[in-house]
Chains A and B, each alone.
Chain A
Amino acid sequence: MTKKLKLKIVTPERLILEEDVDQVTFPTTEGELTVLPGHIPLIAGLSSGDVVAFANGEHMPWAVAGGFVEVKKDEKGQTTVAVLADFAEHVSELSDEAIVKAKARAEELRKQMENTEHVDYEHFAAELERSLTRVRIADKWRSKKYRG
């Protein structure tokens, strides 16, 4: 395996990751998608879930929510995958404590959404989505092996 693809995970706040990996899987608005080196240029919307990179026989999962994915070839012909996420966290950053907190927060937010008729619905919805994604992804990867 000589061919690799360059994966970049970017949030508005910082560049989370820039690494060469063998393949990457991410949730798009249309369904899950895996990109291998040599993929044609592609743009897709990102839904919440986990971006999983596969390199050297190891999985590297990130919890993401909302954004875009751009796949293209750079000048040297290497396939580049840019994940523009609103929020991204490595699964190992999702400690149990944080998950409990996220769960509690999700509950609280859900209640708030029910109680108040007209508040910043979208804001709460985004927050809730994040909290739920954190919980879901952490649960999913709890028993699996991955690179920290």
Chain B
Amino acid sequence: MAGSKEIKRRIKSVKSTKKITKAMELVAASKMKRAVAATLASRTYAEYSWEVLVSISKGLDEITHPLFVKRPTKKTLLILITSNRGLCGAYNAQVIRKSLTFLKKRVHGENVDIMTVGKKGDVAMCRVGEKICSSFTDLPDNISLANMTPISKLALHEYSAGNYDKVLVAYTDFVSAMTQAPNIKQVLPISKTELKEFISGLEEIRDSENPEKKPNHLGNDKKTNYLIEGDQNKLLGSLAEKLVKMQIYQMLLESNASEQSSRMIAMKNASEAAGEMIDDLTLVFNKSRQASITQEISEISAGMASVS
């Protein structure tokens, strides 16, 4: 049996580990709350901009704005959103695996460049030898619109310049605090069906948060004839840019919420495991203490017997 001093030391070290994981759990929980709140707060804007898009495009026979028009895909840009730090369960692994399977599936000769957000994705893509065209690693935990402007701007600029014919984003969908799903979505060219899907996906989060409120104004394509001031195409263009920006922003927020929640779960599991370990070690410690006492008593009584 190991020395009781040794066991005592191990118990102590496990205890301090537990304290750290517990603290990380609480931090992640509060950050998650904030991230979810941010996701929900930007949802109103998403819904309205969708509505405006629908209303404007109804007045036009065909959308000819370059951001909407599909072109033959020669080069694709994949934006991979991961975290900067580890210790968050399978969060990074999941989204990276998803994008790797996507990269494997591509047709031979199809060119895919990668733009990484977060260090983890950067490292993973370097390892498999993919071409990284740019990487953003200094985003703060609570992302503001100003933080992500360079990302969307770069994507829009490269797309309009014709360097890429398609822009995809690999991100993690925040389904609930327990489940997150990695996902790859196309942001450019804007396809109305995908966008609609995305925005109704946002509705679902809200509905799960407070199910009593359910004004679904995506479904009703009620014909309202809008008076449109200014040039429709110009409006549509700037709206399209905003939609792309909003979408990427929303994806970043969702990824952030997912990261925090999976970190919270991972740390929760770690704290529980540490607790169990402490229990086991305490048992071993008590046993060894008892054994040594028993041994001492039997030695003393044996000595007594030999003296008398």
List A residues at the B interface (Cβ < 8 Å). 8, 10-15, 28-30, 33, 40-45, 67-68, 70, 72-73, 82, 84, 86, 120, 122-123
Contact = CB atoms under 8 A, between A and B. Distances in A.
B41 A45 contact: no
Contact of A123 (B56, B150, B228): B150
7 contacts: A10-B44, A45-B230, A67-B242, A68-B49, A82-B48, A120-B153, A123-B149
Contact of B249 (A12, A41, A42): A12
Interface residues of B, number: 31
Contacts of B41: 13-15
B55 A13 contact: no
Contacts of A86: 145, 242
A14 B42 contact: yes
A45 B249 CA distance: 22
Contacts of A123: 149-150, 153
Contacts of B55: 41, 43, 70
Interface in B83-110: none
Given A10-B44, A13-B38, A28 B49 contact: no
B230 A30 contact: yes
Interface string B132-167: 000000000000110001100100000000000000
A122 B154 CA distance: 11
A70 B235 CA distance: 12
Given A41-B225, A123-B150, A13 B48 contact: no
A43 B234 CA distance: 12
A40 B149 CA distance: 34
B304 to A, nearest CB: 82
B227 interface: yes
From A43, A68, A122, residue with most partner B Cβ within 10 Å: A43
Contact of B229 (A11, A44, A72, A122): A44
B278 to A, nearest CB: 44
Given A14-B41, A29-B229, A43-B235, 10 more contacts: A8-B48, A11-B45, A13-B38, A13-B145, A33-B229, A42-B227, A43-B55, A43-B226, A44-B228, A120-B153
